[in-house]
Chain A
Amino acid sequence: MKNNLWKAIFLIAATHLLSRWRQSLISVLGVTFSIAAFVGMISLMTGINDFFEVLMLENTPHIHVYHEEHLNQKTVLAKVMNNTDELYVVKGIKPTHRERGIKNATEVLRLVRAQPEVYGASPLLSAQVFYQHGSIPLNGTLSGIEIEEYNKLFNLNAKIEQGRIEQLSGSAPALILGSGLAEKLGVKLYDYITLTAYNGIKINAMVACIYSTGVSSIDNSTSFASLATVQRILGKDKGYFTDINIRLYNIRDADGVSKRIQQLTQCRADDWKKINAEVLLGFTLRNILTVAVSFSLLIVAAFGIYNMLTMMMYEKIKDIAILKAIGYERRDLRRIFICEALLIGMVGGVSGIVFGILISYGLSNIPIQSVQLKTVTHLPVNFKILHYLLALTFALVTSFLAGWIPAVKASAIDPIETIKA
Chain B
Amino acid sequence: MTIAMIEAHNITKYFGLKNKKSFKALDNVSLNISKGEFAVISGRSGSGKSTLLYILSAMDNSYEGTVWLDDQKLSGMNDRELSRIRNRKLGFVFQFHFLLPHFSVLQNVLLPAMKNSGISERECRGKALEKLQWLGIEHLADMPSQKLSGGQQQRVAIARALMNEPDIIMADEPTGNLDRQNSELVFQIFRRLRSEKNKTILVVTHDKDLAQTADRVIYMEDGKILNPDHYL
Contact = CB atoms under 8 A, between A and B. Distances in A.
Interface string A316-337: 0011011111111110100000
Nearest to B121: A4
Residue of B84, B99, B100 with most partner-chain A CB within 10 A = B100
Contacts of A11: 103, 107
A101 interface: no
A19 interface: yes
Nearest to A415: B59
Given A1-B117, A1-B118, A416 B102 contact: no
A4 B112 contact: no
A416 B94 CA distance: 11
Given A4-B113, A318-B98, A328 B119 contact: no
Nearest to A325: B92
Contact of B98 (A329, A330, A419): A419
A2 interface: yes
B88 A327 contact: yes
Interface string B49-87: 010001001011000000000000000000110011111
Contacts of B110: 8
B83 A5 contact: no
A12 interface: yes
A7 interface: yes
A263 interface: no
B111 interface: yes
Nearest to A327: B87
Given A326-B92, A326-B111, A2 B102 contact: no
A287 B168 CA distance: 63
Interface string A203-244: 000000000000000000000000000000000000000000
A325 B121 contact: no
Given A325-B86, A326-B87, A327-B88, A1 B120 contact: yes
Contacts of B172: 419
B59 A4 contact: no
A74 interface: no
Nearest to B113: A4
B191 to A, nearest CB: 23
Interface string A3-44: 011011001100100110000000000000000000000000
Contacts of B91: 326
B117 A328 contact: no
Given A326-B92, A326-B112, A12 B100 contact: yes
A327 B60 contact: no
A318 B160 CA distance: 16
B119 A323 contact: no
B124 interface: yes
Nearest to A331: B80
Contacts of A252: none
B114 A327 contact: no
B80 A329 contact: yes
B101 interface: yes
Contacts of B117: 1-2, 4-5
Given A1-B120, A19-B102, A327 B50 contact: no
A420 B50 contact: yes
B98 A322 contact: yes
B102 A326 contact: no
Contact of B83 (A7, A327, A419, A420): A327
Nearest to B54: A416
B115 interface: yes
B114 A7 contact: yes
Nearest to A319: B100
A411 to B, nearest CB: 10
Interface string B15-56: 000000000000000000000000000000000001000100
Residue of B115, B119, B121, B160 with most partner-chain A CB within 10 A = B115
A413 to B, nearest CB: 12
B57 to A, nearest CB: 8
Nearest to A411: B79
Given A4-B124, A322-B98, A327-B87, A416 B114 contact: no
A338 to B, nearest CB: 17
Nearest to B93: A325
Residue of A4, A329, A416, A419 with most partner-chain B CB within 10 A = A4
Residue of A2, A4, A327, A420 with most partner-chain B CB within 10 A = A327
A196 B38 CA distance: 117
20 contacts: A1-B121, A4-B115, A4-B121, A5-B114, A8-B115, A11-B107, A19-B101, A319-B101, A322-B99, A325-B59, A325-B94, A326-B92, A327-B85, A327-B87, A327-B88, A327-B116, A328-B87, A328-B115, A415-B59, A420-B50
4 smallest CB-CB distances across A and B, nearest first, come from A327-B87, A8-B114, A327-B86, A329-B83
Interface of B: 50, 54, 57, 59-60, 79-80, 83-88, 91-92, 94, 98-103, 107, 110-121, 124, 160-161, 164, 172
